[in-house]
Amino acid sequence: MNIHARRVLLENGWARDVRLTCADGRIDRVESGVDAGGSDSRVDTLLPALANLHSHAFQRAMAGMTEFRAAGRESFWTWRDLMYRFLDRLGPEQLEAIAALVFMEMQEAGYASVGEFHYVHHQPGGQPYDALSELSDCIVVAAGRTGIGLTHLPVLYTYGGVDQEPLSGGQLRFANDVDRFLALVDACRSGIRALPADARVGIAPHSLRATAPADLARLLAAVPEGPVHIHIAEQTREVADVEAKLGQRPVAWLLDNVDVDARWCLIHATHMTDAETIAMAESGAVAGLCPVTEANLGDGIFNGVSFIEHGGAFGVGSDSNVRISLCEELRTLEYSQRLRDRARNVLVAGEGSTGRFLYTGAAQGGARALGRDAGAIAIGKLADLVAIDSTHASLCALRDDQLLDGLCFAAADNVVTDTWSAGRHMVVSGRHIHRDAIIARYRAAVSDLLQAI
Ligand code: ZN
């Protein structure tokens, strides 16, 4: 498979008239200053495609259902109540159809891969399916249908709070102790063999609310290789609960009690002291930032300036999937910092293009978080690639790094023309190649589900 691009962002900078040769999902050869061959896919501007490092696919079907105000009930926790009611009705077929839509939308927005943080495992009421990995298998099938690069992250969710309260109601579908969870991880590893070799399985202790310290230690000893993802410090109430129970704020506790390193992705990490921020940046863990969802839920603003100053790795995820847009994710990340600090061009180390720093930083951090050998265009890397149209009206006055500034701040996702996931060419001329079938199936699968909420 060959691609010819007028302009490419290579690992060491911009190049013109570049021909990439790919084999077995990886970049095999890079030639600059050459003409296109007859069978090449021809594109305008080629970039490393980002990983979407944090998604709960099923929540996409709830988008727009929680944007009303009820007196005295406005909070993250009422949003979560609706999510639990929704879950009472979600079955395998619906999950697969929703996940396929979500993965397709991600690819059309320019993401090549996804970290699916998957915590719904059992039937309503908590009875396991005949196959423990029934719902994980649906995620795998959806990834296969869309061609996205999947890092599947089954979630260990055991308790209803830091005091190890038993789960109840909607949460019963999430419940596993460590033994059953490890059996689930094994089943997922078998199931994922149905996908191409770039797919993989990691683990996700849900949070310090839902996973006890002793269980976390057992889990990490049993699955040491990662990737390991955990929700952390998203809500101030969560910070207070963890501090009351464990004697430290969540990020501080995790860094002091667990061997956190580059295998880890800390999702949100919204509420950190300066000391926590610096220690996390130095740990090598990736900050899994979900700016659109964090804004939608009113979580707060990440301590980005200090984190970047200390060399922290970061990537972005669409989390609740209320909106799937790579441009908006990066834009919201920077704008939240600007609004807080009343400053411009905040998230850039030293001097230079904010768009370039945000885009390449998120490409590298996202790939690391998913355990994916990608994040840059270079020989040997996975061919996770996205092409944008620099002749589009929103970009046509811009050159090189400015194109990334335009992508982050001026354009919409409709500048994306093509996306490859490990060499699989799934988006062509701005449309996923299975778009119509995926949308038809989604509409059919969720119409009952949505009417009943
Ligand atoms: Zn999440």
pLDDT band at 376 (very low <50, low <70, confident <90, very high): very high
- Cα of 270 from ligand 1 centre, angstroms: 12
> Residue 22: inside a domain, yes or no?
no
pLDDT at 78 (0 to 100): 74
Q: Domain range holding 365?
A: 49-375
Note residues around ion ligand 1 (Cβ under 5 angstroms): 319
- Cα of 294 from ligand 1 centre, angstroms: 10
Q: Report the number of distinct structural domains present in the chain.
A: 1
pLDDT at 453 (0 to 100): 61
Burial of 189 per CB tally in 10 Å (0-12, 13-18, 19+) = middle
- pLDDT tens digits for 266-278? 999 999 999 999 9
- Cα of 376 from ligand 1 centre, angstroms: 26
- Cα of 363 from ligand 1 centre, angstroms: 19
CATH number of domain containing 185: 3.20.20.140
Closest CA to 406 of 386, 419, 431, 389: 389
> Residue 345: inside a domain, yes or no?
yes
pTM (two decimals): 0.96
- Cα of 317 from ligand 1 centre, angstroms: 9
- Cα of 401 from ligand 1 centre, angstroms: 31
> Residue 264: inside a domain, yes or no?
yes
- Cα of 414 from ligand 1 centre, angstroms: 26
Beta bridge partners of 236: none
pLDDT at 75 (0 to 100): 65
**Average pLDDT, stretch 271-300?**
96
**Average pLDDT, stretch 400-426?**
97
> Residue 132: inside a domain, yes or no?
yes
> Residue 15: inside a domain, yes or no?
no
pLDDT at 82 (0 to 100): 76
> Residue 36: inside a domain, yes or no?
no
> In the chain, what are the helix, strand and coil shares in percent, each to the nearest 5?
40, 20, 35
pLDDT band at 87 (very low <50, low <70, confident <90, very high): confident
Q: Please measure the distance between the N-terminal and C-terminal CA atoms of the chain and give it in whole angstroms.
A: 46
> Residue 3: inside a domain, yes or no?
no
Positions marked catalytic: 268, 319
The SS3 of residue 327 is helix
- Spatial separation of the C-alpha atoms in residues 18 and 2, rounded to whole Å: 10
pLDDT at 63 (0 to 100): 86
Q: Which of 53-67, 91-105, 189-203, 297-311 has the lowest mean pLDDT?
A: 53-67
- Spatial separation of the C-alpha atoms in residues 298 and 321, rounded to whole Å: 15
Neighbours of 256 (CB within 10 A): 11
> Residue 19: inside a domain, yes or no?
no
Closest CA to 141 of 131, 130, 132, 152: 152
- pLDDT tens digits for 238-267? 999 999 999 999 999 999 999 999 999 999
Give me the chain's average pLDDT, please. 95
pLDDT at 74 (0 to 100): 61
* pLDDT of 64 above 90: no
Burial of 345 per CB tally in 10 Å (0-12, 13-18, 19+) = middle
Neighbours of 74 (CB within 10 A): 12
